[in-house]
Structure 1
Amino acid sequence: MFVDVRRKDRILENELAAQLLEKGEYGFLAMEGVNGYGYGIPINYVKEGDSIYFHCAPEGYKLECLRKNPNVSFTVVGQTEVIPRQFSTAYESVIVFGTMSLELSEDERRKALRLLARKYSPQFEEIGERYIEKSFHRTNVLRLDIVHLSGKCKRIAHA
Structure 2
Amino acid sequence: MKTMRLTKQALNSERTRIILKTAFYGVLSTVSEDGMPYGVPLNHVLADNKLYFHCTVKGHKLENILHNSKACFTVVGDTKMLLEIFTAHFESVIAFGTVRILKEPVDVARAVRLLCEKNTPQRLDVVDSVIAGYLSKLNALEMTIEHLTGKASED
TM-score band by shorter chain is over 0.9
Which aligned pairs between 1:117-128 and structure 2 lie closer than 5 A? 117-128=116-127
> Normalised by the size of structure 1, how large is the TM-score?
0.94
Quote the Cα distance in structure 1 between the aligned partners of 2:69 and 2:153. 31
Quote the Cα distance in structure 2 between the aligned partners of 1:21 and 1:29. 13
Matched, 1:4 2:27: no
Counterpart contact for 1:30–1:39, Cα < 8 Å: yes
Code of the aligned partner of 2:9: R
Which residue of structure 1 lines up, in the alignment, with residue 33 of structure 2? Answer: 34
Matched, 1:25 2:62: no
Aligned length: 155
Q: Is there any run of 5+ residues in structure 2 with no aligned partner, and where?
A: none
Quote the Cα distance in structure 1 between the aligned partners of 2:134 and 2:99. 22
Deviations 1:69-127, CA, capped at 9 Å, x for gaps: 01000001001011011111100000000000113422221111111111111001122
Q: CA deviation at 1:35?
A: 3.4
Aligned-residue identity in percent: 33
SS in 1 for 2:149: strand
SS in 2 for 1:12: coil
Which residue of structure 2 lines up, in the alignment, with residue 48 of structure 1? Answer: 47
Which residue of structure 2 lines up, in the alignment, with residue 145 of structure 1? Answer: 144
Q: Is there any run of 5+ residues in structure 1 with no aligned partner, and where?
A: none
Which aligned pairs between 1:69-84 and structure 2 lie closer than 5 A? 69-84=68-83
Q: CA deviation at 1:8?
A: 1.4
Calculate the aligned-residue CA RMSD, in Å.
1.0
Quote the Cα distance in structure 2 between the aligned partners of 1:148 and 1:48. 15
Q: CA deviation at 1:67?
A: 0.5
Q: CA deviation at 1:129?
A: 1.6
Counterpart contact for 1:11–1:153, Cα < 8 Å: yes
> Normalised by the size of structure 2, how large is the TM-score?
0.96
Quote the Cα distance in structure 1 between the aligned partners of 2:81 and 2:54. 32
